[in-house]
């Protein structure tokens, strides 16, 4: 008796069989016709879904490639290859490169064929070799680093200080090939520098520059290394040959890719350069994949993701991929590189679509788009135009609305020019103007016609009561004014002539003890016996002398 789970499995099996049968029927003549019709109806919807899926996959692959490269170098440094006898057991990329290099040599002998006759660019046999060459050129760096680690681990027995002096893997391999196991004392090192008996066929002076050669020579004479066995030396020399061969293979692949990019993607090459174009094609999986990729994802392709939390995150440009490393982007100022990358990313997709449909095979469209981007960048870098003098606003001839009424008129009268100010603004003809202040120039101020009696006016200057200084209601106790002030009032009070001219109000707090002392017989504290006269200046007042002088004048009369 079958269980419920077995029945479900049988149902799934029946459904799968029906689907498989339907798939088999699809390859008949009727099925192909119906399938073509269905594909025509649903083509647009599937293309949109595939574009989004491809874009996400490309971003994940780009990030994974950056992580894999960094992790690969870190793993290589942690390896201990001193016990490895043959370098070919750990580095096998050269086996893959040999047939590719043979194909490249075969196609380089033939003239470049036009792809106009081919329906799809990716169907051309040389196009696959192009993408494969570009992919292998990116793997050669890791292979060189691996062989470099092998040489360091084995040659450290003879010259342990050399790996700290020469850090470039290619130069290190060449120096090891030149030095070998030869004597490194002070006498024989000079002959070793001139020797060409090595796999390079060149002396050490041609491999290194002057400063590096001097440092290596000095350290070689003081090195504590020991001589290597002949078998071990042959393994090291074989590894050095592999490093040199890998470097030459990388140059060959790069030159081939750059030379063939003008044939398969002329517009893309004219826009961004052959090397960057080849990297983008390899990352996208072909010209068709690049034409379907969203332009916003292109700047992130080839960027190396930093996983360390200790590194700074406030960098100016995070997406430093293939487009960022392009020669045309390097020439752009740092503050405009983001905008330049966005502009070129849009144009790259346009050029990829143009090359995919075999249009503008001379690359004129790519050059035109490149000029547009450069013109746009020039405008962004141009200085703004100098602002001219700003025109004044149009005058408003309408009379301003002012408040009227009694209160407004009183306020205007209080701030109007007084007669005293008008007199100060006038100057008498032929008379010296009186000045107040100290010194000369701006420290003094002219008085004008103030105090001038003989000014020729028929009417004396009147005090305008409207502009007169007034006391507030709280200060009314000060009373009125007096024409006699200071010591003169005190002197006249003694003679009895000034009491009638002083008028003080008998109200307020300040009147207590003031009015009575001036008008009464008691002597106030302000009374003085000094007098200031224009004849002798300061004089002492003697009442007896004044009485005698008056008596003498009366007798004479």
Cα dihedral 268→270→274→278 (10° resolution): 0
The pLDDT value recorded for residue 368 is 95
Q: Are 175 and 208 in contact (CB under 8 A)?
A: yes
Nearest-angstrom CA–CA distance, 313 and 358 = 43
Q: Which two tokens stand for residue 4?
A: 């419920």
Cβ neighbourhood burial of 203 (10 Å; 0-12, 13-18, 19+)? middle
Residue 491 pLDDT > 80: no
What residues pair up with 537 in beta bridges, in sequence order? 533
pLDDT tens readout for residues 379-399? 999 888 888 888 888 887 777
Q: Domains of the chain, with CATH numbers? A: 265-305+319-381 (1.10.246.90)
Q: How does residue 487 score in pLDDT terms, banded at 50, 70 and 90? A: very low
Nearest-angstrom CA–CA distance, 478 and 473 = 11
Nearest-angstrom CA–CA distance, 214 and 208 = 9
Residue 330: HSE in the Cβ half-sphere, 13 Å Cα cutoff: 7
Provide the mean pLDDT of the chain: 74
DSSP state of 114: P
Q: How does residue 34 score in pLDDT terms, banded at 50, 70 and 90? A: very low
Residue 499 pLDDT > 50: no
What's the angle, vertex CA 392, arms to CA 388 and CA 394, rounded to 5?
Answer: 140
The pLDDT value recorded for residue 310 is 42
Pairwise pLDDT comparison (355 vs 525), residue with the higher score:
355
Residue 39 pLDDT > 50: no
Nearest-angstrom CA–CA distance, 106 and 125 = 13
pLDDT tens readout for residues 293-306? 999 999 999 886 54
Type and span of the H or E element at 446: strand 444-446
Q: Once rounded to an integer, what is the mean pLDDT over residues 531-543?
A: 68
Q: Once rounded to an integer, what is the mean pLDDT over residues 168-177?
A: 90
Q: Once rounded to an integer, what is the mean pLDDT over residues 405-416?
A: 86
Nearest-angstrom CA–CA distance, 174 and 237 = 10
User: pTM for the whole thing?
Assistant: 0.51
pLDDT tens readout for residues 343-367? 999 999 999 999 988 889 889 999 9
pLDDT tens readout for residues 113-171? 655 545 566 677 787 788 788 778 778 888 898 899 889 888 888 888 888 888 888 99
Nearest to 277 by CA among 263, 224, 515: 263
Nearest to 455 by CA among 483, 424, 418: 424
Q: How far is CA 491 from the centre of its chain?
A: 85
């Amino acid at each position: 008796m079958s269980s419920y789970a077995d029945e479900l499995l049988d149902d799934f099996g029946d459904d799968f069989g029906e689907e498989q049968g339907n798939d088999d029927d699809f390859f008949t003549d009727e099925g192909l016709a119906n399938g073509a019709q269905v594909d025509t109806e649903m083509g647009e919807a599937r293309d949109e879904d595939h574009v989004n899926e491809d874009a996400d996959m490309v971003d994940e692959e780009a990030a994974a490639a950056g992580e894999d490269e960094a992790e690969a170098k870190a793993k290589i440094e942690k390896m201990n290859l001193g016990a490895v006898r043959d370098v070919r057991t750990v580095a096998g990329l050269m086996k893959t490169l040999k047939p590719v290099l043979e194909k490249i040599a075969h196609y380089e002998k033939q003239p470049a064929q036009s792809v106009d006759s081919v329906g799809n660019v990716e169907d051309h046999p040389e196009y696959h070799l192009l993408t494969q060459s570009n992919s292998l050129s990116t793997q050669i760096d890791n292979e060189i680093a691996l062989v470099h680690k092998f040489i360091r681990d084995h040659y450290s027995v003879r010259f342990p200080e050399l790996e700290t002096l020469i850090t470039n893997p290619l130069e290190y391999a060449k120096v090891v090939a030149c030095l070998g196991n030869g004597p490194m004392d002070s006498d024989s090192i000079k002959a070793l520098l001139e020797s060409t008996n090595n796999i390079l066929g060149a002396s050490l002076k041609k491999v290194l520059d002057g400063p590096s050669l001097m440092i290596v020579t000095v350290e070689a004479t003081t090195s504590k290394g020991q001589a290597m066995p002949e078998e071990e030396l042959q393994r090291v020399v074989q590894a050095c040959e592999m490093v040199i061969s890998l470097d030459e293979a990388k140059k060959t692949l790069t030159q081939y890719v750059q030379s063939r990019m003008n044939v398969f993607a002329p517009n893309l090459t004219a826009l961004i350069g052959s090397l960057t174009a080849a990297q983008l094609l390899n990352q996208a999986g072909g010209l068709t994949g690049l034409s379907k990729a969203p332009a916003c994802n292109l700047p992130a392709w080839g960027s190396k993701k930093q996983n360390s939390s200790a590194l700074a995150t406030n960098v100016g440009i995070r997406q430093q991929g293939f487009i960022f490393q392009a020669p045309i982007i390097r020439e752009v100022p740092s503050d405009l590189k983001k905008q330049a990358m966005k502009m070129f990313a849009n144009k790259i997709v346009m050029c990829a679509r143009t090359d995919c449909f075999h249009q503008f095979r001379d690359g004129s469209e790519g050059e035109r788009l490149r000029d547009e981007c450069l013109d746009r960048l020039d405008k962004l870098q141009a200085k703004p135009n100098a602002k001219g003098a700003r025109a004044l606003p149009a005058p408003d001839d309408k009379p301003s609305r002012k408040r009227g009424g009694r209160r407004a008129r009183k306020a205007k009268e209080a701030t109007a020019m007084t007669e005293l100010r008008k007199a100060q603004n006038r100057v008498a003809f032929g008379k010296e103007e009186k000045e107040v202040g100290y010194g000369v120039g701006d420290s003094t101020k002219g008085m004008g016609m103030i105090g001038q009696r003989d000014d020729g006016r028929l009417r004396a200057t009147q005090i305008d009561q409207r502009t007169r200084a007034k006391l507030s209601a709280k200060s009314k106790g000060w009373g009125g004014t007096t024409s006699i002030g200071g010591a003169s009032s005190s002197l006249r009070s003694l003679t009895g002539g000034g009491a009638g001219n002083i008028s003080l109000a008998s109200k307020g707090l300040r009147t207590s003890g003031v009015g009575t002392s001036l008008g009464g017989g008691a002597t106030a504290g302000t009374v003085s016996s000094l007098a200031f006269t224009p004849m002798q200046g300061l004089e002492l007042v003697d009442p007896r002398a004044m009485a005698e002088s008056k008596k003498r004048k009366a007798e004479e009369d």
